[in-house]
Amino acid sequence: MGIRIERKHPRCPNGERPAQTASGCYELASPQAGAEKHKVANATFVSSLEKAADLIQNQGYSIRMECKGKRASLISPKGVRILRF
C-alpha cells in the first residue's frame, strides 16, 4: 500500500511535499510542545511516510512541508490530506 501526504492549500502551483532531512527523515512536531513546537529541539523525526501519517492522524502532530523556491514550513493536521493507494 502506498501513501502520500499533501498540503490542502499549497503555496506553489505544483503542490508541496513533506520535507526530508539530509538523512532522509521526515520532521514532525508534537502538539504537546505548544508554542515551542516549531523548534528543532522539540522535533520528532521518522523514517517513513507511514509513521508520519500515523502521528498526524492519531496524535495530532504537525509536519514540515516544502516546495521548490520556498522555505519549509510546519503544517498542522488540518492543513494536510493523507492519501492511501
Residue 66 to residues 1, 32, 49, 58, 85, Cα–Cα distance (Å): 24, 23, 15, 23, 22
Q: What is d(CA 42, CA 39) in angstroms, rounded to the nearest whole number?
A: 6
pLDDT at 1: 75
pLDDT at 62: 97
pLDDT at 41: 87
Cell of 52: 508520519
Q: Residue 55, class by beta-carbon neighbours within 10 Å (0-12 exposed, 13-18 middle, 19+ buried)?
A: buried
Grouping H, G, I as helix, E, B as strand and the rest as coil, residue 78 is helix
pLDDT at 12: 94
Write out the chain's pLDDT in tens, 85 residues.
799 999 999 999 999 999 999 999 999 999 998 889 888 889 999 999 999 999 999 999 999 999 999 999 999 999 999 999 9
Where do we find the cell 503544517?
75
